[in-house]
Amino acid sequence: MNREATYVEAIREATRQEMERDESVVVYGLDVDDPKAIQGTTAGLLEKFGAGRVFGTPLAEDAMTGVGIGMALAGLRPIHVHIRMDFVMLAMNQLINVAAKSRYMYGGQVQIPLVVRAMIGRSWGQGAQHSQGLYSFFMSVPGLRVVAPTNPHDAKGCLVEAIRTDDPVLYVEHRFLHFQKGPVPEALYATPLGKARVTVPGTDVTLVGISYAQTECLQAQRYLEAVGISAEVIDPIWLSPLDVETIADSVAKTGRLCVVDNGWTTCGAGAEIIARVMERLQSVREVKILRLGFAPVTCPPTPTLEALYYPNGRTIAAGVNDLVLGRPTGWVPEERKEWKNIEFKGPF
Amino acid sequence: MNERFYRALYRIRRVEEEVAKAYPSDKIKSPVHLSIGQEAVAVGVCEALKPEDIVFASYRGHAAYLAKGGDLNRMIAELYGRVTGCAKGKGGSMHLIDVAHGVMGSSAVVGTTIPNAAGYAYALKLRGSDALVAAFFGDGATDEGVFYESLNFAALKRLPMIFICENNSYAIHTHQNQRQAISNIAERAASFGIPAEVIADDVIAVYSAIDKAAKAIRSGAGGPFFFECMTYRWKEHVGPGEDYHLGYRSREEATKWIDNDQVRVAGERLRAPRRASIEAEVEAEIADAFAFAENSPFPSADELWKDVYGASTA
Ligand SMILES: Cc1ncc(C[n+]2csc(CCOP(=O)(O)OP(=O)(O)O)c2C)c(N)n1
């Protein structure tokens, strides 16, 4: 029952099981059928389901997205895989002008059950064009759903839900999460649309971490616990639709909200989450807020600047500590090496 | 000329071998896409260019950067993430630039610099300059829509530019035949009304072809020109190692190209003592460049905030 699997294995299993269950599910994208099989997430699918249902593509993000839309219009359930979200930028026209709008624009007569898998995240000095977490762009577009699972359990459940949903879904995977292990039931299950989860209960502050930032928030929670601050950590899981209720309920209790984004904060997912919570709580109780994310600069590859660019468990704890105490204290916790995340090594 | 070619080829080969050697030390925290095996294209092209000419490259851009005269010290420092790097450590291996030597940058997103090169060429033409632009890209980039859109614009405006497709048959691990219905890249370019040629992996053949095209452009006959240069990547797509074990290509396939190693062939055209002295000079230069990088500082924290925006010109 308590079977463990990695995030990669969870994605692969969800895909395989859904393809077995529903023959309209098709997986395609650049390099899905190459020897590395997108970090292993698509390994073995070609052998099992054949080249009709699993295929690599030319380097043609825009056209291949349009092709996915066409397949979806004809009744297939395509999963289009991108090894980096940065490359999805080439497909914005098809995704935003066509996929997101078709159902509405055609008066409900069509649906586009397209899943777009997009990897985000750094590693090994990836630099400006290989590190962006741009999912907030998609959150602002009605008709698109956005999900960013953070553990292997949700990686499987959310992908299943995304495949079964009759709308286009952007499925966001952070590379640092790929090799995390956790419990993943073997049986097929879906993680319901638009439901957040309280990962760690607490009383002093609500800490929301998006995608990989969830992991850093869990570390921050431990640093804070050590100085007597109780943080309630929430994983929003789905960004669109967003479960504001779970977050607002928590903030109604704690009176403090810190959102840690895995992208830039300006017009980011954190901005949206905070705005939505404040709309609800403005006449209910006073709330102190903080949003954290990438420094508002282009991502530098050199390690010294990269370390300053990304929020981490310690900088989050420092920010939250000041939020709770209501003043800048300059406190930053001493690093606890044993809490450090998996290290990435090149040449990825 | 033989000496120049050999020095340039040998230098690129040896720089990249040293990069590969240093890589496991973790001092280079940047994805490196080595051009080992493909040096003849960059050298053949750039030897035919003038200092004021411009090149745009791809993330596999070490060779073009060096061949065009990009500063070696600053390249290695950039790979090491040091402030003395060509982009102050803010670009990394995939974004080499040397404005003074006409290296106008490279992009990690396939195909991205092709229209940038066309735009630069348009500006040169508008200003009546007789410089020209060379755009380097792979066979994979010719899958992308932006490639065709750029060809059309370049042909339409008769731009002073030379398209250089480095056809090494692969995009990461996917062969051209798995991505393109017909392997006729040069013919496709020709269909836009652009003179186009396929060139073998031979530094002199590349040089002669580019020299002719460059002279035609400079004489006012206009451009663009297109060259599909056949070549082969000996190393893995990204990283310092080999990847024949992955099974997407065979070592036998590589052997044909390795037997035609243009660095070796060019070296054999020289007398032994002359060759030895060129090699010694290059080795010293490379050792200095790595020492320069090792001894250079990392950027200071305030550098994080610089270069996001420029000053107001108002
Ligand atoms: C727009 C875009 N799509 C996908 C990628 C991932 N990718 C990086 S290199 C590469 C292969 C490109 O092959 P080619 O243009 O032939 O250049 P080569 O690596 O052979 O020099 C791919 C697909 C990318 N960087 N940019």
Return the residue whose CA atom lies nearest to atom 17 of ligand 1. Answer: B138
Residue B311 has a pLDDT of 83
pLDDT tens-digit series, residues B87-140? 999 999 999 999 999 999 999 999 999 999 999 999 999 999 999 999 999 999
Collapsing DSSP to helix, strand or coil, B135 comes out as strand
pLDDT tens-digit series, residues A196-223? 999 999 999 999 999 999 999 999 999 9
Q: Is A227 in the pocket of ligand 1 (CB under 6 A)?
A: no
Q: Which residue of A has its CA nearest to B88?
A: A302
**pLDDT exceeds cutoff 60 at A180:** yes
Query: For chain A, what percent of residues have pLDDT higher than 70?
Result: 97
In 3D, which of B88, A29, A1 has the Cα closest to residue A11? A29
Q: Is B228 in the pocket of ligand 1 (CB under 6 A)?
A: no
Collapsing DSSP to helix, strand or coil, A82 comes out as strand
pLDDT tens-digit series, residues A323-333? 999 999 999 99
Test mutation, B34, B148, B174, chain A, max A CBs within 10 A: B174
pLDDT band at A341; cut points 50, 70, 90:
low
**Nearby residues of A161 by Cβ (< 8 Å), 6 or more positions away:** A147, A190, A191, A192, A193
Residue A338 has a pLDDT of 80
Residues of B in contact with A35 (CB under 8 A): 173, 246-248
CB atoms within 10 A of CB A32: 25
**pLDDT exceeds cutoff 70 at A345:** no
Residue B173 has a pLDDT of 98
Instruction: State the smallest CA–CA distance between residue A5 and chain B in angstroms.
Output: 25
Partner residues linked to A291 by β-bridges: A259
Please answer yes or no on whether B29 and A304 come within 8 Å at the CB atom.
no
Residue A346 has a pLDDT of 53
* Cβ–Cβ contact B138 with A under 8 A: no
Please answer yes or no on whether B304 and A35 come within 8 Å at the CB atom.
no
**pLDDT exceeds cutoff 90 at A189:** yes
CA distance A172 to A161: 14
Taking the centre of ligand 1 as the mean of its atom positions, its distance from the CA of residue A94, in whole angstroms, is 21
**pLDDT exceeds cutoff 50 at A348:** no
Residue B1 has a pLDDT of 87
Please answer yes or no on whether B143 and A59 come within 8 Å at the CB atom.
yes
pLDDT tens-digit series, residues B161-201? 999 999 999 999 999 999 999 999 999 999 999 999 999 99
Residues of A in contact with B239 (CB under 8 A): 346-347
- Supply the residues of A annotated as catalytic: 61, 130
Query: For chain B, what percent of residues have pLDDT higher than 70?
Result: 99
Please answer yes or no on whether B92 and A346 come within 8 Å at the CB atom.
no
**Which helix (H) or strand (E) element contains residue A22?**
none
- Entry pTM: 0.95
Average pLDDT of chain B is 97
Residue A47 has a pLDDT of 98
**Mean pLDDT to the nearest integer, A214-235:** 97
Please answer yes or no on whether A56 and B178 come within 8 Å at the CB atom.
yes
Residue A53 has a pLDDT of 98
Beta-sheet strand order (sheet of B54-58): B103-107, B54-58, B133-138, B161-167, B225-230, B196-199
**Mean pLDDT to the nearest integer, A171-190:** 95
Residue A123 has a pLDDT of 83
**pLDDT exceeds cutoff 90 at B26:** yes
CA triple A271-A277-A279, angle to 5 deg: 100
For chain A, give the number of residues: 348
Instruction: State the smallest CA–CA distance between residue B237 and chain A in angstroms.
Output: 10
Q: Is B232 in the pocket of ligand 1 (CB under 6 A)?
A: no
Residue B282 has a pLDDT of 98
